[in-house]
Chain A
């Protein structure tokens, strides 16, 4: 597609369940970022993939969070044993280099009941 896509657009889950969020970046973009935006909060950096380099995981809030990027393209963010404080909009973005504009997906709204 022409832009970054994310799925699902909305996810409602029960506390303690695992969830997977998917991001399809723009074709050819080497950098991929995950952020989250909690209600009333700013954007929070989670993890950054750049090409084949080891990802920068410094923003992951706990070991329940993990992410993969397969084949340098699609990325999956996994949250295990979800908690209510995990409820947020999870945004994915990609760009083709450090000076390029970052293109954002529409986000996945996660609600943990």
Chain B
């Protein structure tokens, strides 16, 4: 069985400050892990994915995530938030099937 937990339902940061969106997973397999972003009234877009290559994965729009097996974590980070980053972010674990986290809403204050 697989599951994914996004530890924060809402994160608020100021523009120009770092972003940290936390994700922990549980999987019986060596999982693949993904982060998706959904902007208001838009469809889901893939930000980045980990598939057992480098543990530090770089994605679009300056986001990156680090796979830490010992901590079963795949946290999403960005050094400097931009207003356009305000959106809903989903962490996904994939093994036998795919499971989504509940989502984290990122708010960016001017």
Instruction: List residues of chain A with CB under 8 Å of any chain B CB.
Output: 31, 33, 35, 41-43, 45, 48, 50, 56, 91, 95, 98-99, 101-102, 104-107
Among B55-63, B76-84, B97-105, the one that faces the other chain is B97-105
Q: How far is the CB of A41 from chain B (nearest CB, A)?
A: 8
Could you list 29 examples of A-B contacts with CB < 8 Å?
A: A31-B97, A33-B97, A35-B100, A41-B103, A42-B6, A42-B102, A42-B103, A43-B90, A43-B100, A45-B100, A56-B97, A91-B43, A91-B44, A95-B98, A98-B95, A98-B96, A98-B97, A98-B98, A99-B32, A99-B51, A99-B94, A101-B34, A101-B46, A102-B34, A102-B92, A102-B94, A102-B98, A105-B43, A107-B43
Contacts of B97 in A (CB 8 A): 31, 33, 48, 50, 56, 98
Task: Report Cα–Cα, A9/B89, bound state, in Å.
Answer: 23
Contacts of B102 in A (CB 8 A): 41-43
Contacts of B94 in A (CB 8 A): 98-99, 102
* Interface bin, chain B: 20 to 34
Query: Beyond A33-B98, A42-B103, is A101–B49 a contact (Cβ under 8 Å)?
Result: yes
Q: In chain B, what residue has the closest Cβ to A50? A: B97
SS class, residues of chain A in contact with chain B: strand
The 4 closest A-B pairs by CB, nearest first: A42-B103, A42-B102, A43-B100, A99-B32
Task: Report Cα–Cα, A43/B99, bound state, in Å.
Answer: 9
Task: Report Cα–Cα, A95/B46, bound state, in Å.
Answer: 13
Q: In chain B, what residue has the closest Cβ to A109? A: B41
Q: In chain B, what residue has the closest Cβ to A43? A: B100
